[in-house]
């Protein structure tokens, strides 16, 4: 940067190239953390590079360089988020459907909800589902462990899942 | 536009820049603000009527010196604030100390006199003129300093704006001290201090809007 301030274009090109990679990673990380799309990171990277260029006279050569860059990047990120807060409201409606489609059952329900739902089932069905579906045991292993026949295990799992689906279904419809 | 292309464009016509530019411009804006304010005070309000008497120069000089003890550190801080990340390592105590000192002196002076003396001192003939003039005149240096700071890169806009307001208020108060004939310490503390505080508050509110880059 010190060489760039004196007008060394080659050093400046190398510097910006290195910075663009770190800035891109920084913005992607920050945007992902607050659930924003990573595609905004590229725009922000370019905007920050332009800011670094146009405000390079505010860098004091005796000061550490990275805190200066970080302050600009952080400022541009906050400014970007503040500016796009309103426009993020008018996302097209199909995006909302995508969100629902993407959230499959297992991801949507936390482990706690799962336990609560399973608690509603009769003991035999619950232990069968826990063993086969959650712990991943085979039907034969489960049958041996709980001392019931294999077909009994299959029926318990089937009925239990059906009951679970029914208990969840009305909630899904209203949501 | 691809980022690599952007880098090519930016580094294509690289001109050397001078990092001393920002301190030079800021001092220039502050000096220009002082000159403009002095010109406005002399031109519109006029100098103290007792200007011919050399002994009467002491109170305005004391008032100017007291205000300058705020103005000088505030200017140094504004220079720091106008650089990215400069908001770290700013101690507000140094700026607030002169305020505290003047207010203490004023309280002592009021405590020493009778109670009706206090209202008489504060609401003298001059107070409305003082409250109106200092913020109004401060607009001129505020605009000049804002224009310069906009070319820099402050990253804490509210605080930077507050310091722009504080400096503009101080410059305005310095100019007004050349006109004002009320030399009591409580008057100075409340009306000069209050209006400088008001300018600081205005700057704090306006900073995020005016200083964006």
Determine the Cα–Cα distance for residues B74 and B169; give it in Å rounded to an integer: 11
DSSP H helices, chain A, are 2-5, 9-33, 39-54, 65-84, 93-102, 105-108, 111-119, 123-129, 139-146, 150-174
Residue A163 pLDDT = 82
| pLDDT band at A14; cut points 50, 70, 90 | confident
Would you place residue A140 in the very low, low, confident or very high pLDDT band (cuts 50, 70, 90)?
confident
Return mean pLDDT, chain A: 76
B174 or A34: which leads in pLDDT: B174
Touching B: A residues 63-92, CB under 8 Å: 63, 67-72, 74-75, 79
Note the pLDDT of residue B198.
Answer: 93
pLDDT at A97 over 80: no
Separation of alpha carbons A91 and A74, rounded Å: 25
DSSP state of B200: H
Nearest CA among A16, A20, A25, A22 for reference residue A56: A16
Q: B203 or A160: whose pLDDT is higher?
A: B203
Task: Count residue pairs from A and B with Cβ separation < 8 A.
Answer: 84
List CB contacts (< 8 A) between B11 and chain A: 9-10, 12-13, 16
Alpha-carbon distance A1 to nearest alpha carbon in chain B (angstroms): 11
Between CA B134 and CA B169 the distance in angstroms is 7
Partner residue facing A12 (CB), from B11, B22, B82: B11
A40–B contact, CB cutoff 8 A? no
Q: Is A99 exposed, middle or buried (0-12, 13-18, 19+ CB in 10 A)?
A: exposed
Higher per-residue pLDDT: A5 or A93? A5
pLDDT of residue A174: 45
Residue A96 reports pLDDT greater than 70: no
Average pLDDT, stretch A104-109? 46
Q: What is the pLDDT of residue A165?
A: 79
Beta carbons of B149 and B66 less than 8 angstroms apart: no
pLDDT for res A87:
53
Query: pLDDT value at position B54?
Result: 76
B164 or A140, greater pLDDT? B164
B110-136: b (≥16 Cβ within 10 Å) or e = beeeeeeebeebbebebbeebbebbbe
Please tell me the distance from the alpha carbon of residue A80 to that of residue B211, in angstroms, as a whole number.
Answer: 15
pLDDT at A109: 46
Tell me whether A2 touches chain B (CB under 8 Å): no
What is residue A169's predicted lDDT score, i.e. its pLDDT?
A: 67
Question: Mean pLDDT highest for which of A97-106, A123-132, B93-102?
Answer: B93-102
Tens digits of pLDDT across chain B (213 residues): 687 888 888 877 777 788 788 889 999 999 999 999 999 998 888 887 777 777 778 888 888 999 999 999 899 899 989 888 877 777 777 888 888 888 888 888 888 877 777 777 778 777 888 889 899 999 999 999 999 999 898 988 999 999 999 999 999 999 999 888 888 888 888 889 999 999 999 999 999 989 888
Nearest CA in chain A to B13: A9
């Amino acid at each position: 940067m010190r060489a760039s301030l004196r007008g060394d274009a080659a050093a400046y090109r190398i510097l910006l190239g290195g910075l663009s990679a770190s800035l891109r990673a920084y913005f992607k990380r920050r945007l992902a953390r607050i659930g924003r799309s990573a595609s905004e990171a590229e725009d922000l990277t370019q905007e920050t590079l332009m800011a670094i260029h146009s405000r390079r006279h505010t860098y004091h050569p005796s000061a550490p360089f990275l805190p200066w860059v970080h302050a600009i990047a952080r400022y541009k990120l906050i400014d970007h988020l503040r500016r796009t807060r309103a426009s993020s409201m008018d996302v097209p409606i199909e995006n909302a459907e995508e969100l629902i489609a993407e959230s499959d059952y297992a991801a949507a329900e936390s482990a706690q909800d799962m336990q609560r739902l399973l608690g509603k089932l009769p003991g035999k069905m619950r232990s069968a589902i826990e063993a086969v579906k959650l712990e991943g045991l085979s039907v034969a292993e489960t049958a041996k462990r709980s001392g019931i026949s294999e077909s009994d295990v299959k029926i318990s799992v089937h009925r239990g899942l059906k009951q679970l689906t029914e208990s969840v279904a009305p909630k899904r419809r209203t949501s | 536009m691809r980022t690599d292309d952007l880098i090519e464009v930016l580094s294509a016509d690289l001109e050397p820049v001078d990092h001393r530019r920002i301190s030079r411009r800021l001092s220039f804006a502050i000096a220009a603000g002082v000159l403009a304010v002095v010109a406005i005070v002399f031109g519109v309000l006029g100098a103290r009527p007792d200007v011919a008497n050399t002994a009467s120069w002491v109170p305005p000089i004391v008032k100017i010196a007291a205000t300058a003890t705020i103005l000088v550190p505030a200017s140094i801080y504004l220079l720091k604030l106008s650089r990215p990340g400069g908001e770290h390592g700013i101690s507000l105590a140094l700026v607030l100390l002169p305020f505290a000192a003047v207010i203490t002196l004023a309280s002592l002076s009021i405590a020493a006199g009778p109670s009706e003396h206090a209202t008489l001192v504060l609401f003298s003939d001059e107070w409305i003129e003082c409250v109106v003039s200092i913020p109004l005149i401060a607009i001129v240096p505020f605009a000049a300093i804002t224009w310069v700071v906009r070319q820099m890169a402050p990253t804490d806009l509210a605080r930077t704006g507050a310091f722009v307001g504080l400096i503009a208020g101080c410059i305005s108060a310095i100019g007004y001290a050349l006109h004002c004939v009320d030399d009591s310490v409580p008057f100075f503390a409340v009306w000069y201090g209050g209006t400088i505080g008001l300018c600081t508050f205005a700057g704090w509110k306006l900073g995020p809007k005016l200083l964006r880059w």
